[in-house]
Amino acid sequence: MSKAKLGQRPGQKTGLGSELGQRLLFVIAAIIIYRLGTYIPIPGMNMADIQDAINNRDAGDLSAFANLFSGGAIERMSIFALGVMPYISASIVIQLLSHMPGKLKDLRQSGTQGRRKILQYTRYLTLAVAFFQGVALCLAFQERALYAGPAFWLVGGFTFACGAMFLMWLGEQINERGIGNGISILILAGIVASMPSVFGGLVSSAKSGDVSTALVLAIFAIIVALFVVIVFVETSQRRIPIHYARQQTGMAMGQNAPYLPLKVNLAGVIPVIFATAIIILIGAVLSFMSNLDVLNEGLGGSFTRYMGLATAKMQSGQPIYILIFGLLIVAFTFFYTGLVFENKELADDLKKSGAFIQGVRPGKATADYIDHVQSRLTMVGAIYLAGVVLLPEVFNMNQSNSVLLQFGGASILIIVVVIMDLVQKIQAMRMSTQYESLMKKSHLGRKRT
């Protein structure tokens, strides 16, 4: 008969057999399934021609940016080429509509049942967006298909849509059975999977003389600096001192002086993911419209020319692209912070607990003060996010090296923030498990006495 380990309760699981271990194993299994799916191409593609098209694309082509987030699935025309971006785009639209007067706003305020209905609408819209983006992608590569016409882009669009819906479901399963945000983890897995090829491309460019040694050192210096800045800002807080009313205990008067922590970047990496999804969707729309020969014939051949010019202006490293991308990041930072930050509830909680901010009246005045402070922090966070994401884009404006773009600040930001969030949740789960174990032991000890 085996003896239990010292300090371990009978029947208590440790290691991979614990709840945390099982959740981590589920996340790993989900990532493996996702990566395997990125190597399954859609039907009807001539993969040799696809590889030639990818290798000969322009350095600033938006498909290179999207390919990084898909883990190389686009260049393989995989069933998972769209990734989770259709789901993110649909979520943005539904969230915007749910805060406007109408049926969706009523559903959002009606409790759990209403939120489930909104989630159902999000899934329907995800299917529509994924099918549209899939058709646009097929039209962009239809000259390299084994067979052309509606039969190709209908089958391809449906296959892409099914892949996007499966990834949406897989992300939800990670939320329920794994640990961390499932959608963010899948994006992280795609970016990390693309990093070896990016580093390999940089080394090859340096050896061939296309990139100077000084430029390579500058790239790595920028990456290290971005890591330091991201970690510093993500852990920064604005601490507002709060006070509690003096309470007479009969022996002495005590007063606590804790603080109210407000994060500089409360929105995290979500605004960058939202802005990336929208910028990729814009590129897909422009690409789709530039391939509509029917409209081109009706407008005397000028339609595709104008759409081609618009598509060129929306490539990575272009000033218009940088401007729109930056504005989207700032807008989504304020939008998402407004969703998750409830200044009125926070002020009410302080009032109920007898706490107050020095020089500020409880209630509405406290809510307005907290909102004012958080608005200024949000502006700083929005500028920080836009600066980190767009710095490599500005650095590459007058160059033609796609390696620089693939080291984009968006990918570095997502890697650092998602990993930090995952580590915090793992530590929180471990602390919770240890606390529950201690509580059960204390209960057992009282029963014995």
- Spell out the domain ranges in the chain: 16-439
Give the residue-averaged pLDDT of 429-438.
75
Specify the pTM: 0.76
Computed on alpha carbons and rounded to an integer, the radius of gyration of the chain in Å comes to: 26
16-439 folds as Preprotein translocase SecY subunit (1.10.3370)
Poorest-pLDDT segment among 195-204, 265-274, 364-373, 380-389: 195-204
The predicted pLDDT at position 44 comes to 80
The predicted pLDDT at position 281 comes to 79
Is residue 62 within 8 A of residue 280, CB to CB? The reply is yes
**Pair of tokens at residue 65:** 């940016």
pLDDT at residue 377 is higher than 80: yes
For 35-92, the pLDDT digits (tens) are 999 888 888 877 777 666 655 554 445 566 666 677 777 778 889 988 888 898 888 8
State the Cα–Cα distance between residues 58 and 26, nearest whole angstrom. 39
Cα–Cα separations (whole angstroms), residue 187 to 83, 324, 364: 8, 22, 40
Residue 12's pLDDT band (cuts 50, 70, 90): very low
Give the residue-averaged pLDDT of 203-219.
76
Poorest-pLDDT segment among 126-135, 284-293, 377-386: 284-293
Handedness of CA 196, 227, 67, 425 (dihedral sign): positive
The predicted pLDDT at position 9 comes to 47
- Residue partners of 139: CB distance under 8 A and separation at least 6: 153, 287, 288, 291
State the Cα–Cα distance between residues 423 and 163, nearest whole angstrom. 29
Is residue 63 within 8 A of residue 144, CB to CB? The reply is no
pLDDT at residue 398 is higher than 70: no
- Residue partners of 353: CB distance under 8 A and separation at least 6: 244
Q: Which residue has the tokens 């499966």?
A: 166
Give the residue-averaged pLDDT of 331-342.
86
For 133-188, the pLDDT digits (tens) are 888 888 877 777 777 778 888 888 899 999 999 999 999 999 999 888 888 899 88
Give the residue-averaged pLDDT of 227-245.
86
Poorest-pLDDT segment among 58-72, 310-324, 411-425: 58-72
pLDDT at residue 299 is higher than 80: no
Q: What are phi and psi of 315, to 5 degrees?
A: -90, 155
Identify residue 277 by its one-letter amino acid code.
A
